[in-house]
């Protein structure tokens, strides 16, 4: 089938949006009530706690944005024996992301950053088009890996497997999700298996940047 393709969103996948109080308490959850769902979300065996932070200038918006990420997660993603591509609304600024994260991933140009044409459909179209290569696909995106997207992929004629992972944007890719990705890349299933693993179906939080 050839080397897998990995399409990586940034916000809510690598760039995390954790609870402010959790961050102020250095990731500690002991102060929470026993039934607080954040205990599970921010547990050490689930969360790649962010240890890096930087402010990047998004030139077409004239603003700086703070990004937070965990270097272990980035290293594990970069080490995967697969071709990795940015598929993110950070499209015009992925050179900055590569520099900050220490990677060299090419960028899929899936929308027009001036007119915004393709912003709502371009990611799904990219994945569907990539099916024609007959290579295993991993799609990491916290917003676009929805039920409708899974139906679109399943209805497309293809011969290789697809794994789509939709992280919780508060923590990005979780440790169990990363293990799932690694296992898929190391030993992709035979046939046109489609698996979508998402924590939400189109949440109403951030939308890029």
CA 72 to chain centre: 15
Cβ neighbours for 23, distance < 8 A, ≥ 6 positions apart:
none
Distance from the first to the final alpha carbon of the chain: 34
Give, in degrees to the nearest 5, the angle at Cα 71 between 68 and 77. 110
pLDDT at 30 over 70: yes
Has residue 209 got a pLDDT over 60?
A: no
Q: What span, in angstroms and rounded, lies between the C-alpha atoms of 112 and 131?
A: 22
146-164 tens-digit pLDDT:
999 999 999 999 999 999 9
pLDDT tens-digit readout, 84-122: 999 999 999 999 999 999 999 999 999 999 899 999 999
Instruction: Report whether 11 contacts 169 (CB < 8 A).
Output: yes
Residues above pLDDT 70, as percent of the chain: 95
Beta strand residue intervals within the chain, DSSP E: 5-8, 52-58, 63-69, 83-86, 137-140, 162-166, 194-198
């Amino acid at each position: 089938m050839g080397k897998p393709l990995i399409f990586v969103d940034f916000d809510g996948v690598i760039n995390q949006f954790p609870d402010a109080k959790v961050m102020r308490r250095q990731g500690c959850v002991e102060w929470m009530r026993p039934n607080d769902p954040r205990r599970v979300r921010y547990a050490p065996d689930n969360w790649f706690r962010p240890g890096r932070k930087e402010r990047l200038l998004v030139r077409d918006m004239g603003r700086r944005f703070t990004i937070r990420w965990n270097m272990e997660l980035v290293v594990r993603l970069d080490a995967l024996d697969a071709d990795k591509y940015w598929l993110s609304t950070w499209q015009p600024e992925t050179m900055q992301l590569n520099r900050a994260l220490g990677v060299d991933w090419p960028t899929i140009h899936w929308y027009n950053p001036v007119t915004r044409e393709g912003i709502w459909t371009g990611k799904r179209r990219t994945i569907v088009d990539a099916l024609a290569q007959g290579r295993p696909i991993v799609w990491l995106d916290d917003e676009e890996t929805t039920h409708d997207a899974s139906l679109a992929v399943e209805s497309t004629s293809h011969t290789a497997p697809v794994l789509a992972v939709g992280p919780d944007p508060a923590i990005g890719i979780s440790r169990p999700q990363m293990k799932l990705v690694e296992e898929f890349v190391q030993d992709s299933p035979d046939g046109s298996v489609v698996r979508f693993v998402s924590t939400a179906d189109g949440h109403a939080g951030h939308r890029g940047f």
